[in-house]
A and B are shown apart, each in its own frame.
Chain A
Amino acid sequence: MCGIAGLIHRGKSSGVGSEMTSMLTALKHRGPDSTGFAIYGEPNSGDYVMRFKVAEQEDMASGYDMGDKIASRIAEVEKRLGEHKATIKSKDEATPYAMRYVISHDGDTEAMARYIEDVEGTEILSLGNALELIKDLGDANVVADQYGLREFKGTHGIGHTRMATESDVDIRSAHPYWAFPYNDVAVVHNGQITNYWLKRRQMEKKGHRFMSSCDSELLAVYTADNLANGATLEDSLKASIEEIDGVFTYLVATKDSLGMAKDTMAAKPLVLYESDDMIAMASEEVAIRAILPQEIDTYDPYDEEIRVWKA
């Protein structure tokens, strides 16, 4: 089933971390397996925030030497960052297997990201000037506490509570997906994509990488491909209605905007609230009410509807 939620404050920063946590907690019944956040802080001056993991949560119980393996993988990642002339400015370790580095780098970020992901067990969850992508097993409260998200200030964010259907319960299959290698772009999805393998093969032929067998990852790769080819976010969302088969509603966030698309069958829910200050959307109204308890006007977008909002 899965639950998705998004939030964008117009022209100001707010407590997006705690707001998204409240929204996703309200959607816990739609997916208890894992929870993910893609939240956007104030873009920093040229530095990149890199979130990556060097192991799955379940790997931590797989042997006495896992700690050593993780230490060696982190050392290898840092070495490779150095080889790409990236300077590590700060390090945070919310968990033993997931890290947050702030780095400065002037070169080709895609080449650097591919080189780092070549390290065993390593996946870059996000890379960008504003994007912080956090995902882990458990509900929104567990993940928010684990990664200290409640204090996070930002302009917008998207999130997901996952009920695993066609792929594993692990971090690599959890949403959101970063639109590798397109900086600051993330996707959450609720639905099933029926031409996944066909589109995946097309994307792989173009050189795109897939880290999981979750159909939702296709939307991130597809969006990245469109944006890399010069399409706007709006163009990409519009094209997806025609080119992606299945039933889906998905949200895409970029550095300064948030977009939604709903398939031709309108089979997956989304409730929208718009005001001059903010736009909130979620699979269920109960998530919007978690942050806006007062009486508000909400509505369901129709089939084939796409929308894009600027922060």
Chain B
Amino acid sequence: MESMSVMASDMGYDPRDGQTRDQIEGTTQEDRARDLGMMSEQLKNRSMEVFFEVGEDENLTYPWAPDVDFNKRTELDCEGKTTTEVNKDIYSLMEEGYGTIVLQNPRGMHSVGVGILNRLNLIVEGSIGYFGVGLIDGPNVRINGRVGWSCGENMMSGTVVIEKNAGSTFGAAMRGGDLVCKGSVGSRTGIDQKGGTIIVGGDTGAFSGFMMQRGRMVVCGNAGKNLGDSMYDGTIYVGGEVRDYGVDAIPAELTDLDKAWLTRKLTQYDLMPENGVDHFTKIVAGKQLWNYDNLEPNEKKLIL
């Protein structure tokens, strides 16, 4: 449970300086969401951005998920294996109790580590191709190479850290967890993002945050054209230049809470810029594409 409790507190509400525990616990989830620029209605289900109670012992594992020991480590050589064989081997190793699996020689293999619904430390020694670690719910993944298109697509929870560059549609339709690329990523990053956090150490391409619905995206470098086009909600932070804004994406004031959150997240992944985070631009939805005010909260949920 060690990694999951770390993850839960990462995703959770950040105790603000100067506040007592009672004060923090006295605020509602709605208040915290509003403070962070999120929607105000109460959200349910793990597919949404859930703010965990500090210290709460959430039961995040699936009932049928094998119990693994993070100290039990093994290596899996992808040489000569198909993607299906590698993914089946990962499952078999988890059933044997291995909690740390190191993949060797992936050499651009597609769909590696897709659909892992369990706690696991997955270390990839090399680069993977398309759809890497998509649809995951729980594992902590570290990739020492590059990833192709659609890495972390539909990811539900866990952390994925990529040391080099990533392809397009990075974190598409992502729902939760932290997806971090220390290099630059391609186009359409976080398209249809529904939750979680995407962090890019370098630049991102065109149409990033397109139809973003919820969650947060941080780009330390520059962003390509049409950033945040048709976004419904969510927040994008850009440290460099924005080539242009998409329809209904507008800059917003970077609050102290934003700065604190950025500082914590970027420090956590060793991506903190030397000049701090004060220069970041915050981008949110202008909410002109939908008449939000005339909608009931339940109707808003249908849109989002």
Contact = CB atoms under 8 A, between A and B. Distances in A.
Contacts of B146: 285, 297-299
Contacts, number: 72
Given A266-B168, A285-B146, A295-B127, A300 B108 contact: no
Label chain A's interface by main secondary structure. Answer: loop
A298 B110 CA distance: 16
Contacts of B152: none
B149 A302 contact: no
Given A266-B205, A293-B107, A300 B168 contact: yes
B167 interface: yes
Interface in B177-212: 183-188, 205-207
B145 A295 contact: yes
B99 interface: no
A110 B50 CA distance: 68
A302 B108 contact: no
Contacts of B127: 285, 289, 295, 298
B148 interface: yes
B108 A297 contact: no
Nearest to A297: B164
Interface residues of A, number: 20
B239 interface: no
Interface residues of B, number: 29
Contacts of B206: 264-266, 302-303
A298 B126 contact: no
A108 B271 CA distance: 61
B213 interface: no
B187 A288 contact: no
Given A271-B167, A297-B165, A300-B167, A286 B109 contact: yes
A125 B204 CA distance: 40
Interface string A249-290: 000000000000000111101010000000000001111110
A299 B165 contact: yes
A300 B130 contact: no
A87 to B, nearest CB: 47
Nearest to A268: B168
B165 A303 contact: no
A285 B132 CA distance: 12
A288 B167 contact: no
B173 to A, nearest CB: 17
Contact of A266 (B144, B148, B183, B186): B186
What 9 pairs between A and B have smallest CB-CB spacing?
Answer: A286-B108, A285-B108, A300-B186, A266-B187, A289-B107, A289-B108, A303-B206, A302-B205, A299-B165
Interface of A: 264-267, 269, 271, 284-289, 293, 295, 297-300, 302-303
Given A264-B206, A285-B127, A295-B127, 20 more contacts: A266-B186, A266-B187, A266-B188, A266-B207, A269-B149, A271-B167, A284-B129, A284-B130, A284-B148, A285-B148, A286-B108, A286-B109, A288-B108, A293-B105, A293-B107, A299-B146, A300-B167, A300-B205, A302-B186, A303-B187
28 contacts: A264-B206, A265-B206, A266-B186, A266-B188, A266-B205, A266-B206, A269-B167, A285-B127, A285-B129, A286-B129, A288-B108, A289-B107, A289-B108, A293-B105, A295-B145, A297-B146, A297-B164, A298-B165, A299-B183, A299-B184, A300-B167, A300-B168, A300-B185, A300-B205, A302-B205, A302-B224, A303-B187, A303-B224
